[in-house]
Amino acid sequence: MKKYNFNAGPSMLPREVIENTAKQCLDFNGSGLSLMEISHRAKDFQPVLDEAESLIKELLQIPDGYSVIFLGGGASLEFCMVPYNFLINKAAYLNTGTWAKKAMKEAKLFGEVVEVASSADANYTFIPKGWTCPADADYLHITTNNTIYGTEIRKELDVNIPMIGDMSSDIFSRPIDVSKYDCIYAGAQKNLAMAGVTLIILKNDKLGKAPRPIPTMLDYRTHVEKGSMFNTPPVVPIYSALETLRWIKANGGVEAMDKLAKQRAEILYGEIDRNKLFRGTVKEEDRSVMNICFVMNDEYAELEKPFFEYATAKGMVGIKGHRSVGGFRASCYNAQTIEGVEALVQCMKEFETQN
């Protein structure tokens, strides 16, 4: 039976990305050695890094004056590296969910943190609006897509200070205005690659301003200066990122990804809103097109487990909602197909008819 992967991360990748990466794991560039057993300093690996970097700059239209690096440690390490490197006196954070809160917690170790707004009291079911940023803050940190709750900031915010964006779960799904950011970071395991690498985009002239000694490995300058080769980089995840970047380019770039994401979301939210059994969990205007969260309507609450079992038997994988929301979450990252979303909608329709 065909499986449809709605995992929240690690998540679905394009089939050809997996196949091409697997081939290189068996025999890297005809060398007779696996990608896993070559040195990161082998002459064939530098072109992988270079091409990945140049595709990222091209796809996201990154202006001059920015660097692109790959690090280990996940997006979670960036929660600490960001304030270590960028917080001088005060930082502003928009609290839109678990990951934003975790980022804020680390920042408090380094200076004053202003929470500009929060939707915590409403279990993060919306993106707060109408707040202001302290003009003297060094940056505003935002989480552009809230993976757990299914809300998203899909339109560039208009703020008076530079932003830092955790784009772990929506990078490469739409065009972004990089010039508004001093730093963008993203764990790879949703829209970019297998787990194990984090992509970081940095505005060069904002580095080296923090008034504290920074351990070498946690100083962004180390990795910029050494081209992500200060220590051994995660070679296989970076290679899989390169394959995904090639795939995104071949499939029309981030504009095409954006269009597809909206199409998938329209199909699925359309069914959630139509079907008597289900309802969405977040404010409509803030709905994520990446993580689509829904629950049973109250009068059908007892059907949650039976629907999960029904959909699972039909090949749906990873649709259980995060424990802090409950219900269901269908993650629809770039590799998700219209066919996959239609298969889930079909399950929802059939289940409605039977109940």
Is 99 a binding residue for ligand PMP by CB under 6 A? The answer is: yes
- Count of positions (residues) in the chain: 355
Instruction: Tell me the window of 72-80, 106-114, 269-277, 339-347 that interacts with ligand PMP (CB under 6 A).
Output: 72-80
- Alpha carbon 195 to its chain's center: 12
Radius of gyration of the chain (CA): 21
Kindly write out the interface string for residues 107-146 of this chain, putting x where it contacts ligand PMP by CB under 6 A and - elsewhere.
------------------------------------x---
Determine the straight-line distance between the first and last CA of the chain, rounded to whole angstroms.
24
Is 76 a binding residue for ligand PMP by CB under 6 A? The answer is: yes
| Residue 247 is a catalytic residue | no
Residues 6+ apart with CB under 8 A from 179: 63
Could you say which of 20, 96, 125, 147 contacts ligand PMP (CB under 6 A)? 147
Is 286 a binding residue for ligand PMP by CB under 6 A? The answer is: no
Could you say which of 7, 16, 29, 74 contacts ligand PMP (CB under 6 A)? 74
Rounded Cα distance, 88 and 72, in Å: 25
Could you say which of 166, 182, 219, 286 contacts ligand PMP (CB under 6 A)? 166
DSSP for residue 287:
B
Instruction: Please count the residues of this chain forming the interface with ligand PMP, following the rule CB under 6 A.
Output: 11
Cis peptide before 14 (omega within 30 of 0): no
Q: Could you tell me if 107 and 91 are in contact, meaning their C-beta atoms sit under 8 angstroms apart?
A: yes
Exposed e or buried b for every residue in 156-185, given b needs 16+ CB within 10 A? Answer: beebebbbbbbbbbbbbbbebebebbbbbb
- Alpha carbon 214 to its chain's center: 27
Residues 6+ apart with CB under 8 A from 279: 272, 273, 294, 295, 296, 297
Is 290 a binding residue for ligand PMP by CB under 6 A? The answer is: no
Q: Which lies closer to ligand PMP via its Cβ, residue 190 or residue 206?
A: 190
State yes or no: 99 annotated in a binding site.
yes
State yes or no: 281 annotated in a binding site.
no
Instruction: Tell me the window of 51-59, 165-173, 307-315, 336-344 that interacts with ligand PMP (CB under 6 A).
Output: 165-173
Paired sense of beta strands 112-118 and 66-71, if any: unpaired
Q: Which lies closer to ligand PMP via its Cβ, residue 2 or residue 323?
A: 323
| Residue 166 is a catalytic residue | yes
Binding-site sequence positions for pyridoxal 5'-phosphate: 75-76, 99, 147, 166, 189, 231-232
Q: Which residues bind ligand PMP (CB under 6 A)?
A: 9, 74-76, 99, 143, 147, 166, 168-169, 187
Binding-site sequence positions for L-glutamate: 41
